[in-house]
Structure 1
């Protein structure tokens, strides 16, 4: 969908959905991968699976490839988390990793309803562990301090994407 394609990742609660909405509001082409590309499946094979777990939250690799191949727009931002990102991360011109301190993360998770991802104790414990270990996010992305306002975070992502 774009000449240049960017992935915006980070653990739950770092602001990926808010950043996606702000990019869209500003007229950029942004896809919320968690709602538009995600399904429950095997991260290795892509085969759909029953049940809803964090480990099975993957993106449709063929859809990602098709969107990246279409060059109708100057830039496209893919926002969200996926357990199979190693299968398509090489398609992106840049990767941004949103990061917040533990206090900010906890405040944001406190605001979630029980039925939102991260709203219950078990999911929250997983998110805090993933925040600590960084095991679930791309390691070579440009880290963006997402404790700032969403407008500032998006300004920085746009600035950095223009530089790449």
Structure 2
């Protein structure tokens, strides 16, 4: 069984890739919904959009072969042991900002303040994601189809 977490900053293409994998017939879950995530308050008193532990543990216990999960949450590290692979999608800052400005499926990243926040996360959060990842794919160079091809090959490597 292969469970693959697809993570990365806003605008790297996580949702697009997971939609493509679902279109190809795989179990593919975008965790950026109320079903999988909830708002809480972090240690500094700031709002934090984290994975719901119960639903995520149940999802990761499923026998689906393979399972793709996408998201970027502050508590995702607590689930890393349930994934066979953690894949970081990355892209240059200018690519991320252009995608955020033009995407239609998520309002986050439209304001200057949110764009500045994303740039800050590139400096502070992305290195942490990179340290926890088994593989990094450049979504600035690869198309959604190419990313999905690479993820599919990764997930099926031990199948058969």
TM-score by shorter chain over 0.5: yes
* Alignment of 1:103 onto 2:94: yes
Match of 1:139 in 2: 131
Alignment RMSD, CA only?
2.2
Q: Is the 8 A contact 1:58 1:84 kept in 2?
A: yes
* Alignment of 1:90 onto 2:81: yes
* Alignment of 1:150 onto 2:144: yes
Match of 2:39 in 1: 40
**Which residue among 62, 69, 76 is the counterpart of 2:61?**
69
Task: Give the direction of change, closer, same or farther, for the CA distance of 1:43–1:24 in structure 2 (3 Å limit).
Answer: farther
> Could you report, residue by residue, the CA deviation over 1:25-84 in whole angstroms, capped at 9, with x for unpaired residues?
11010011011311102468xxxx9x9x4xx1101112111111121x211111111111
Task: Give the direction of change, closer, same or farther, for the CA distance of 1:131–1:6 in structure 2 (3 Å limit).
Answer: same
* Whole-Å separation in 2 of the counterparts to 1:136 and 1:110: 25
* Whole-Å separation in 2 of the counterparts to 1:61 and 1:5: 17
Instruction: State the shift of 1:4 in Å.
Output: 2.1
Task: Give the direction of change, closer, same or farther, for the CA distance of 1:138–1:87 in structure 2 (3 Å limit).
Answer: farther
Structure 1 gaps, min length 5: none
Structure 2 gaps, min length 5: none
